[in-house]
Amino acid sequence: MSIVLVVHHSPTPRVAEIAAAVLRGARTAESEGVEIIERGALDASTSDLLDAAAVIFGTTANFGYLSGALKHFFDTTFNESHAQTKGRPFSYWIHGSHDTTGAERAMQSITTGYGFRLAADPVVFTGDVDADRLQQAEEMGASIAWMLTI
């Protein structure tokens, strides 16, 4: 069974809606043998990451950067895992109230260090979490999960 690990920091109802949409999309592939594992950024471990065939990250953009919780996940898993994550498919979502530029730049830099391979368009935006954005998040989650069935 292939595992999609969804690691996120979703402290607000709006961001929790995005996480739920990503998970809803990813879970459409469960009947095809894909297991979806959801972990809060402060609860996810190196073994969770190494067991996953694909990863989806989610975060708020706080003060122009990733959430501290997701950054903590990256800080605590990098040394033990980066040599084994090269080429692993991933995607992400970032939601901010005002600006996501720094958070997206950090996400790209960190995931490049891990050697992850971007496998679905990220969902990055500011403002309202509307039906269109939730649909994009759901489609991204589904894309990552279904690619493991091929």
Beta bridge partners of 59: 94
- Its sign, for the CA torsion 111, 113, 114, 117, is positive
Q: Two tokens at 6? A: 């969804």
Could you give the CA distance from residue 133 to residue 136 in angstroms, rounded to a whole number? Answer: 5
DSSP 115-146: T-EE-S--EEEES---HHHHHHHHHHHHHHHH
Strands 117-118 and 89-96: parallel
pLDDT at residue 53, as a whole number: 99
* pLDDT of the chain, 150 residues: tens digit per residue: 899 999 999 999 999 999 999 999 999 999 999 999 999 999 999 999 999 999 999 999 999 999 999 999 999 999 999 999 999 999 999 999 999 999 999 999 999 999 999 999 999 999 999 999 999 999 999 999 999 999
CATH code of residue 116: 3.40.50.360
Q: Which domain holds residue 94?
A: 2-147
pLDDT at residue 82, as a whole number: 98
91, 124 contact by CB (below 8 A):
no
pLDDT at residue 112, as a whole number: 99
Find, among 22, 69, 68, the residue nearest to 43 by Cα: 69
Per the structure, the count of domains in the chain is 1
Q: Two tokens at 68? A: 């501290």
**E strand intervals along the chain:** 2-8, 34-40, 54-62, 65-66, 89-96, 117-118, 123-126
> pTM for the full model?
0.98
Find, among 114, 73, 108, 78, the residue nearest to 94 by Cα: 108
Q: How many other C-beta atoms lie within 10 A of the C-beta of residue 64?
A: 14
